[in-house]
Structure 1
Amino acid sequence: MENTNIKQTFFKYVTHNVLGMIGLSCYILADTFFIARGVGANGLTALNLAIPIYSFIHGTGLMIGMGGATRFAISKSKTVFTQAFYYVLIMASIFVSIGILLSGGLANLLGANADTYQMATTYLQVILCFSPMFMLNNLVICFVRNDDNPKLAMNAMLIGSFSNIILDYVFVFPLKMGMFGAALATGIAPIISLLILSMHFIKKRNSFQLYRLRPQPRTYLDISLIGVSSLVTELSSGIVIIVFNSIILRIKGNLGVAAYGIIANIALVVISIFIGIAQGVQPILSKNYGEQNKQNVKKVLNYGIVTVVTFALIIYGFFFLFSEPIVGVFNKEHDRELARIAVQGLRIYFTSFLFAGINILCCTYFSSIDKLRNAFIISILRGFIFIIPLAMILSSMYGMIGVWLTMTLTEFLVLILTVVLLKNINRRN
C-alpha cells in the first residue's frame, strides 16, 4: 500500500465492502418485505420485536470478526483466527440454548402480545438456532477481507443476500410457510455465503487457518476490546428498537410499531452503507498503522469522511423525495394512518445519518489504530447513554415527532465529542 496507490486501495476496499454490507443488511429487509406482503401488519410487528436479538447475534459475530481480524492485520499473529473460531463456538452455543429453551419467554420480554406472540416466538427460535452460521459467516468475512481478498468477501455477502431473497419468496408465498419460512430463508443464507468464502481456502490464498491450540481466554478479552465498538453499534440498534417499540406502543399501538418497523429496517440498510465504508477502511488503517505510516492513516480517514458525507446527503435527498412510494411497498393493506406515520418518520429520522455516518467511521478508525477507549466512548454514548433518556424526554414532550428526532439529536451530540477526540489525536501526532 504505497502512498501513490492509497486512494486506489481505499476505493477498492470500500466499494467491495459497501456492496457486500448492503447485501448482508438485506437479510432482514427481505424478511420485512415478504412478511409485510405475505403475513401482514401483525407479522411486521412481530418481526420488529424480534430484530434486536438478530442484531445482538450479528453484533457478537462482528465483534469477534472485526476484533480478531484487526489484531491479525496489525500483528500478523497466525493463532488469532483459531482463538476467534473457538470464541464464536462458545457464544453460539449460548444463543442456540436460548433459542431451544427460552424463545417464548424472550418474545414476551420483548413486548409480544396475543396477536404477535406465536409469530415472534417462531422467528426468534429459528434465528437463534442458526446463530452459529451467522457468527461464523461474520468471522470468516472479516478475516478474508483482511487477508487481501475484499472481492471474495463482497461476493459471499451478495450471493448470500440474493439467495435469502429467493428463498424468502419461495418459503413465504408458494410454500406458505409464513414467519417460519422467512426466518428459515434468513438462516440458510449465511451457509451459502460460507460456501463461497471457502474458495479462499480451496485456492490456497489464505494466510490464516485453524491450528490445534488450547483456548486462551486472554485472547478473547483482547479480541473483545478491539471489536466491542462493532458489537455496541449493532447492539445499540437492537436496544433502540426495543426502547422505541415500547414508547411507540404506548403512543400509537401496534400500527405505530409496524410503521416504525418499516423505518427501522430501511435504516438498517442505510447504516450498513456507513458500516461498509468503515469496515472497508479498517484493513488499510490497521496495516498502515502497524507499519507506522501515519501519513496514509490520515489520508484514508479524510477519504472516508468525504465519502460518508457524500453518501449521507444523497441518501437523505432520495428518501425525502420518494418516501411515499417507498412506504407503499411495505403497506399491503394501504393503511393511510400507517403510511402517514411512516412517511413523517422517514423524513425526520433520516436526518440523523449525516452525523451517524461520521461517528461510525471514526469509531472504527479509533479501533483500527488501537485507540480502544475512544472507540468505546463513542459507541457507548451513541448506543445507550444519550439515546435512551433523549427518547423518553422528547417523546413525552413531542409525541411521535420527538421519537423521530431522538436519533438526530443523539448523533449530533456524539459528533461534537468525536471531533474533540480527533483533534486530540492529531495534536499528539
Structure 2
Amino acid sequence: MKHAFREFARYASLNALGMLGFSCYILADTFFIAQGLGADGLTALNLAIPIYSLVHGCGLMLGMGGATRYSICRGQRDNDGASAAFVSSVYPAVLLAIIFVSAGLFFPTPLASLLGADAQVLTMTATYLRVILLFSPAFLLNDILVCFVRNDGSPRLSMTAMLAGSFSNIILDYVFIFPCQMGIFGAVLATGLAPCISLVVLSFHRKHAGFGLRRCSVTPSLIGRMLALGLPSLVTELSSGIVILVFNFIILGLCGNTGVAAYGVVANLSLVVIALLTGIAQGVQPLLSHAYGRNAQSDIRQLMRYLIVTVLTLSVAIYALFIFCDTPVVAAFNSAQDAALQSIAEDGLRLYFLAIPVAGCNIALSFFFTSIGRALPAHCISLLRGLVLIVPMAFALSALFALTGVWLTFPVTELLVTVCGVVLYWRSMRTTKPVR
C-alpha cells in the first residue's frame, strides 16, 4: 500500500508541476501583455486563446491516446503493439500540422474576425494567431513526446521538459516585450519557442526506449481506437477554448472590450488551475493503465481514492486563496488600474471558481475512463462539460442574470456533469476486464 502511494505521489506531483509550468505559457503572456500593451492586448490575447487550446488539445489527444495504448500494451507485454502506438500517434500529427500551418500562413486575419476581433484589436489578434499556428508542429510533437516519455517510466524528465519550456517562455516574454519592444509578436514568439526548448530536453530520454519511428504494423482501426482514447483530452482542453469563445461573445454584448479583458484574467487563471488538476489526473494515467492491463482492480480503486482526495483538497485550497486574495491577484494584471476591469474580474473570480472542486472530480473521472480503455463514458463526461451543457447554459443564465449568469455557468455545468460521472464510474467498476 505504501509503495502504491509513493508511485501515485511521484507520478501525480511530477506531472502536475510540469502541467502547471506548461499552462504558464499563456499566463506569462497575460501578465506581460497586460503590463506592456494594456487592455487591448489582453482582449486580443483572450480572443486568440481558443486556437491555442485547439492546437494543444489535438496534441494531447494524440499523446494521451497513444500513450494510454502504449501503457496497456506494456502491461500485457505486447512490445509490437507498444511500438505501433507511437507511430500511430505521429501520422495524424503530421496531417494536423499541415492544416494548422496552412491556416497560419493564409487565414490569420479572417480567423481573427471570426473570433470576434474588431478593428481596434484585429491586427494584434491576427499576429498572435499567425505565429501560434506556424509553431503548431512543435506544440503537437512536444505534447506527444511528453506523454510517451512519462509513460515510458520517466515522469521526472517529462516534468523537466515542460518546466524548461515554461521558464524559457517567461524569460523570453520579458525580453521580447520590454527590452526589444516587439509587442504582441514578441509575446507569441516566446510562446512558440517554448515547446522547441522542451523538445530539446525530451531528446535525452533513454529509459526503456520502448517507442520510436520503427517499421511496424499500423492500421486505420488502430489509429481510430487511439484517437477515441485521446478524444476526451482534446475535448477537455478544447472546452476551455469553447467556453472562452462563447463567453467572449456574450460579454462583448454586456460589457464591451473591458469586460472581455476582465474575463481574460479570470479565464487565464482558470486555465492554470485546470491544467494543474489535469496534470494530477494525467500523471496517474500510466499507473491506472498498467494496473488495468494486469487486471488489478484493487490497485485501480486505491489509485482512484488517492486521486479524488488529492484533487478535492487542492481545489478547496485554491478557491480559498482566490476568495481572500482576489484584489491583489486581479491588480497584478490590471496595469492601467482600470476600476471597471478590477470590479468585473473580482466578481468573476469569486463566482467562476466555485466550479473548481467539481471540475477536478470530472477531470479525474474522465482520465480514469481513458486510462482503462473505456472511451464512451470518457466522451460523455468531456462532451457534457465542453459542449452539450455549458454552451446553452451560458446563453440561458446570461439571459436571466446578465454577467452574474455568465460567471455561474461554469459551476452549474460542472455540478451537473459530476452527478453523471459518478453514476458512470460506479457502473464501470463492477466490470473492469482488460480489452486486448
TM-score (norm 1): 0.97
Kindly report which structure 2 residues correspond to 1:221-240, keeping only aligned pairs within 5 A, or say none. Answer: 221-240=224-243
- Alignment match, 1:170: 175
2:288 to 266, 285, 289: 285
2:116 equivalent to 1:111? yes
Count the aligned residue pairs.
425
CA–CA distance in structure 2, aligned partners of residues 312 and 182 of structure 1: 30
Give, in angstroms, the shift of residue 271 of structure 1.
Answer: 0.3
Give, in angstroms, the shift of residue 4 of structure 1.
Answer: 4.7
2:65 equivalent to 1:67? yes
- Alignment match, 1:199: 204
CA–CA distance in structure 2, aligned partners of residues 160 and 428 of structure 1: 41
2:393 equivalent to 1:390? yes
CA–CA distance in structure 2, aligned partners of residues 222 and 91 of structure 1: 18
Offset from partner CA, 1:68-88 (integer Å, 9 cap, x none): 000000013212112211221
Offset from partner CA, 1:6-50 (integer Å, 9 cap, x none): 111000000100100000000000000111100110010000000
2:205 is paired with a residue of what secondary structure? helix
> Is the 1:86–1:215 Cα contact (8 Å) retained in structure 2?
no
Give, in angstroms, the shift of residue 426 of structure 1.
Answer: 2.9
1:395 is paired with a residue of what secondary structure? helix
CA–CA distance in structure 2, aligned partners of residues 349 and 83 of structure 1: 38
2:366 equivalent to 1:366? no
RMSD between aligned residues? 1.1
Give, in angstroms, the shift of residue 57 of structure 1.
Answer: 0.1
CA–CA distance in structure 2, aligned partners of residues 233 and 386 of structure 1: 14
2:117 is paired with a residue of what secondary structure? coil
CA–CA distance in structure 2, aligned partners of residues 188 and 162 of structure 1: 11
CA–CA distance in structure 2, aligned partners of residues 136 and 387 of structure 1: 30
CA–CA distance in structure 2, aligned partners of residues 48 and 215 of structure 1: 39
- Alignment match, 2:154: 149
Give, in angstroms, the shift of residue 303 of structure 1.
Answer: 0.4
2:176 is paired with a residue of what secondary structure? helix
2:310 equivalent to 1:312? no
Give, in angstroms, the shift of residue 422 of structure 1.
Answer: 1.4
Give, in angstroms, the shift of residue 5 of structure 1.
Answer: 1.2
CA–CA distance in structure 1, aligned partners of residues 428 and 393 of structure 2: 29
Structure 1 segments, 4+ long, off by >4 Å, are none
Offset from partner CA, 1:265-293 (integer Å, 9 cap, x none): 01000001110111011000000000111
- Alignment match, 2:77: none
Offset from partner CA, 1:158-217 (integer Å, 9 cap, x none): 01100000000000000010111000000000000000011104xx64221111458633
2:185 equivalent to 1:180? yes
Give, in angstroms, the shift of residue 89 of structure 1.
Answer: 1.1
Identity level (%): 52
2:326 to 309, 323, 330: 323
Give, in angstroms, the shift of residue 222 of structure 1.
Answer: 1.4
2:116 equivalent to 1:131? no
1:28 to 21, 26, 29: 26
CA–CA distance in structure 2, aligned partners of residues 217 and 366 of structure 1: 22
Give, in angstroms, the shift of residue 94 of structure 1.
Answer: 0.6
- Alignment match, 2:78: none
CA–CA distance in structure 2, aligned partners of residues 63 and 391 of structure 1: 26
- Alignment match, 2:79: none
CA–CA distance in structure 2, aligned partners of residues 217 and 62 of structure 1: 19
2:224 is paired with a residue of what secondary structure? helix
TM-score (norm 2): 0.96
Offset from partner CA, 1:382-409 (integer Å, 9 cap, x none): 1111101110011011111000000000
Give, in angstroms, the shift of residue 238 of structure 1.
Answer: 0.5
> Is the 2:84–2:218 Cα contact (8 Å) retained in structure 1?
no
Structure 2: unaligned runs, 5 residues or longer: 75-81
> Is the 2:131–2:192 Cα contact (8 Å) retained in structure 1?
yes
CA–CA distance in structure 1, aligned partners of residues 365 and 270 of structure 2: 19
Give, in angstroms, the shift of residue 219 of structure 1.
Answer: 2.5
- Alignment match, 1:377: 380
Offset from partner CA, 1:74-129 (integer Å, 9 cap, x none): 01321211221122111111100011011111000000001110000000000000
1:42 to 37, 40, 43: 40
CA–CA distance in structure 2, aligned partners of residues 162 and 230 of structure 1: 24
CA–CA distance in structure 1, aligned partners of residues 64 and 431 of structure 2: 26
